[in-house]
Amino acid sequence: MDILGVLRTLASESGFAAFFLADGGWKNLVMIIIAFVLLYLGIVKKFEPLLLCGIAFGCLLSNLSYFVGMGANALYHPEIWSTFLDSTSPYYHSYGYIMREAGLLDFFYIGVKAGIYPSLIFMGVGAMTDFGPLLARPKSLMLGAAAQLGVFIAFFGAVLLGFTGPQAASIGIIGGADGPTAIFLTTKLAPELLGPIAIAAYSYMALIPLIQPPIMKAMTTDKMRKVKMVQAREVSKTEKIVFPIVVATFVILLLPSTAPLIGCLMLGNLFRECGVTDRLSDTAQNALMNIVTIFLATSVGATMVGDSFLQLQTIYIIILGLVAFAISTAGGSTP
Amino acid sequence: MIDLVNISIPNAAGYALLGYLVVFLGLVMLMAVIIIMGKVMHREPKAAPAAAAPAAAPAAAAPVVKAAPAPGSAGDFKLYNTDPRDAAMVMAIVADTLGKPLNELRFISIREVKEDEV
């Protein structure tokens, strides 16, 4: 029995050896350090911990198990998703191929790729949201419209920096300050950028208390900030029940591509308001939301593989995301 | 047909401007829908008693009239993620701590604050 040979095989197949032997193995090491930093920010600094812990651990698992050319035991395989998206490949959009080759995190990622998790998150958000103030004062929708300014400026900035149109649109949407929408759009338009865009979107949302106050202060007067927002009128129960039905009908007919997100958002809100589905509303707000958050965060984190994440364009995305976020804040704060 | 993948800079500027206008237009339309919906909903309760009055049928008009709150009551209050039993305990504790009778306090809403929200 060749004990030395067995030990040599064991050593050469280990992740420790892969850091030095695999092509770009050092990038995995860098990503593992980044994962530790994100874990620190989530756990110690409490920056969006419910998401950041999952994202960071997904990143850690992915970079511990996947090395370029040594992906047999990997939990996430970027190359099978590249094949999945390659229109010249025989496995183009073949979920059968994914099921055959996938690791655990690839299976989780199917929910992102198919747009399931962001839609389910929206259902939970709908079940948690009271649209009463909006119904009482519909003009407040214009604040939301103004706050989209950063999306379009970042889109233009991204094109200037050499990103393609779909990539630029995915980067711009970071300014919408909505993680599930950013993920949903990026998986449709530029799935290769999902990792950095998700990280930028959620990081800036976590940093809202640091980013937004100085911008709001600069854009508003002291008197404006002292205005106490009171609900303009009482909103009836019937109005709140009819609202999700009317909005879903109107918006989906107007923009059919928004159907998954708006449909789920309004379904969740109907569960909340109709008064006869309290159990469903409770599930959508709590259990379902928590389960989907685990899958979404872990699978998005898994896309942060060193080989594709450690590129100059990731830095561009982080900077453009901040620009989008800051300008959107300024747009929404402009009197 | 414009190539969206290799989009030129002037086209990108045009798309950004157009996109922003479309967002405004879409939200203005949605705002109009909500305003119309609100007006229709608000008209309904007013129209019902007016229609019922000439018929002089108090029994038919009765369901439309909102019951007056009980003497001393400040009306409904809202519970968010809070069990009514827990809410009753919270109210009793607050009244006890303040040394005021419960019927002199007005609670607007009670919401459970999770540990990570603090």
With a CB cutoff of 8 Å and minimum separation 6, the contacts of A278 are none
Domains of chain A, residue spans: 109-221+233-333
How many Cβ pairs within 8 Å bridge chains A and B?
A: 85
> What does the alpha-carbon distance between residue B92 and residue B98 come to, in Å, rounded to a whole number?
10
- Give B69's pLDDT tier (boundaries 50, 70, 90): low
- Read off φ and ψ for residue B110, nearest 5 degrees: -130, 130
**What are B58's two structure tokens?**
């108090």
Q: Residue A153: list chain B partners with CB under 8 A.
A: 16
> What does the alpha-carbon distance between residue A297 and residue A9 come to, in Å, rounded to a whole number?
35
What pLDDT, on the 0 to 100 scale, is given for residue B70? Answer: 57
Do residue A250 and residue B30 have CB atoms under 8 angstroms apart? Answer: yes
Please spell the DSSP secondary structure of B21-87, one letter per residue. HHHHHHHHHHHHHHHHHHHHHHHHHHHHHHHHHHHT-HHHHGGGSPPPPPTT-----EEES--HHHH
Residues in chain A: 335
C-alpha angle B49-B53-B58 in degrees, rounded to nearest 5 = 85
Q: Which of A145, A148, A164 sits opposite B6 (nearest CB)?
A: A164
> What does the alpha-carbon distance between residue A93 and residue A85 come to, in Å, rounded to a whole number?
6
Percent of chain B with pLDDT over 90: 13
Q: What pLDDT digit, counting tens, does each position of B4-44 carry?
A: 778 888 999 999 999 889 988 999 999 999 999 888 887 65
**What are A151's two structure tokens?**
């999306």
> What does the alpha-carbon distance between residue A9 and residue A3 come to, in Å, rounded to a whole number?
10
Average predicted confidence (pLDDT) for chain B: 74
CA distances from A216 to A211, A221, A324, A335 (A): 9, 9, 15, 10
What pLDDT, on the 0 to 100 scale, is given for residue B52? Answer: 47
Single-letter amino acid code for the residue at B20 = Y
Which of residues 238 through 267 in chain A touch B, CB cutoff 8 A?
A: 238-239, 242-243, 246-247, 250-251, 254-255
- Give B63's pLDDT tier (boundaries 50, 70, 90): very low
Q: Residue B31: list chain A partners with CB under 8 A.
A: 138-139, 141-142
Place of tokens 């030095």: A20
Do residue B31 and residue A144 have CB atoms under 8 angstroms apart? Answer: no
Chain B residues in contact with chain A using a Cβ-Cβ cutoff of 8 Å: 4-7, 9, 12-13, 15-17, 19-20, 23-24, 26-31, 33-35, 37-38, 41-42, 44-45, 81, 116
- Give B71's pLDDT tier (boundaries 50, 70, 90): low
Q: What pLDDT digit, counting tens, does each position of B11-20 carry?
A: 999 999 998 8
Query: Which comes out higher in pLDDT, residue B56 or A320?
Result: A320
Q: ipTM beyond 0.95?
A: no
- For chain A, 335 residues long, the average pLDDT of each consecutive 10-residue run is 83 81 85 93 87 91 84 84 86 89 91 88 93 88 83 91 91 84 88 84 75 86 81 82 94 92 95 93 94 91 86 88 86 70
**For residue B57, pLDDT beyond 50:** no
Tell whether A230 is within 8 A of chain B (Cβ): no
- Give B100's pLDDT tier (boundaries 50, 70, 90): confident
> What does the alpha-carbon distance between residue B31 and residue A134 come to, in Å, rounded to a whole number?
9
What pLDDT, on the 0 to 100 scale, is given for residue B54? Answer: 47
Distance of CA A176 to the CA centre of its chain: 12
Contact by Cβ (8 Å): A262, A252: yes
- Give B67's pLDDT tier (boundaries 50, 70, 90): low
Do residue B9 and residue A160 have CB atoms under 8 angstroms apart? Answer: yes
Please report how the helices A287-302 and A278-285 are oriented relative to each other, as an axis angle in degrees rounded to 10: 30
Q: Which of B7, B17, B34 sits opposite A159 (nearest CB)?
A: B7
> What does the alpha-carbon distance between residue A75 and residue A88 come to, in Å, rounded to a whole number?
25
C-alpha angle A155-A315-A169 in degrees, rounded to nearest 5 = 20
